[in-house]
Amino acid sequence: MSFFNKILSKLGIGSAEAAPAEPGAAALAETPAATAAEASPSAIPVVDVVAQLEQKAAANPQQLNWKTSIVDLLKLLDLDSSLGARKELATELGCPAELMSDSAQMNMWLHKQVLARIAANGGNIPAELAN
């Protein structure tokens, strides 16, 4: 399982834990009559990532800010947040080579990419965090 898929899994995205945003939204995509055109991005079940992360942050004895820090985000998800792990994730997500040698720049890029990709996979990430 890829590092990013571990993040999605921890959030319940793409699994049975992911609850549909609307009743029947998931059922539409499962019907035999549903075509690719009918299974639009709006049919992706939305997972309340913000609520999950806020709840985890409130329960954590450390003051972790997942909204600004990739390290804190990974810690809240009980994933490896070491520099090596972040470099692995950055490589997986296609981080530009010039950012890989500067951990601060890589972390900022990585944080934005992870949030944007969570949003693209059905997580309710606020637009100002994912852009």
Structural domain range at position 50: 3-18+45-130
Domains: count for the chain: 1
Q: Is the pLDDT of residue 70 over 90?
A: yes
Q: Is residue 88 part of a domain?
A: yes
Q: Are 119 and 130 in contact (CB under 8 A)?
A: yes
CA–CA separation, 7 and 81 (whole Å): 12
Q: Is the pLDDT of residue 122 over 60?
A: yes
Q: What is the pTM assigned to this prediction?
A: 0.74
- pLDDT at residue 3, as a whole number: 95
Q: Is residue 60 part of a domain?
A: yes
Q: Is residue 24 part of a domain?
A: no
